[in-house]
Amino acid sequence: MKIDHIDLAFLHLAVSKNGKFNEQDIAGSELAYLGVGRTLDRLAALKEKNLIKLDGAYFSITDLARELFWGKDTPIQTRLLRLLQIKSFEESEIIRYLLEPKDIVIESIEESRKKGFFIFTTIKKDDRVFRVCELTPEGNDHVLVQTLDSKSQLQKILQEISIKIDRAELDEFKIKEILDKIKKISTELD
């Protein structure tokens, strides 16, 4: 499902307002610049994607949308990387959007960076220098694997292990023995 930074701003507004927002909330937010036409178009698109629903005079965030970035069952690292799939963010923006304690988010940012899931990029704008987190292909792959069901995740992991073993400097007999065991497990999963 494709979500951009404007969609994210609407969803964040809903979560920040206890799951519901109305016209006055939009007018008093960073989304006020959109105007009536673009706002209505965005709300309709979010409704079509099942990310918000109309609840009387309010728009409510759906469980699906809440789970994407704020679900407690989803690891914070996955939610962080999902944010970076939308666009590159500064650390302070990530902290603001995830609605988690600052120290926990910073720890997750550092852990993800060490794993190579994103890099820091420096951007200069209006004589100010910003350091933003930019998703790497490895980070994007990690998020995609997280969206797979358990069986598909296991198959993907086995495939990655097979590739690493195949490239390793082991004797041919050992490589064949290990790869045969992995293929047997993979076949059992099918």
Q: What is the pLDDT of residues 100-130, one digit of tens each?
A: 999 999 999 999 999 999 899 888 888 888 8
Regions of the chain short of the pLDDT cut 70: 1, 146-153, 156, 189-190
Q: What are the CA-CA distances from residue 49 to residues 2, 62, 69, 80 (Å)? A: 9, 10, 15, 21
- pLDDT value for 20: 92
Give me the residue spans of the domains in the chain: 5-66, 74-137, 148-189
Helix or strand (DSSP H, E) at 130: strand 128-135
* CA atoms 173, 179, 180, 185: torsion sign: positive
What pLDDT score does 15 carry?
93
Contact criterion met (CB below 8 Å) for 143 and 167: no
pLDDT of residue 72: 86
Provide the pLDDT for residue 183: 78
**CATH of region 5-66:** 1.10.10.10
Equal CATH topology for 5-66 and 74-137: yes
Q: Please give the pLDDT value at position 150.
A: 61
Domain 74-137: give its CATH code. Answer: 1.10.10.10
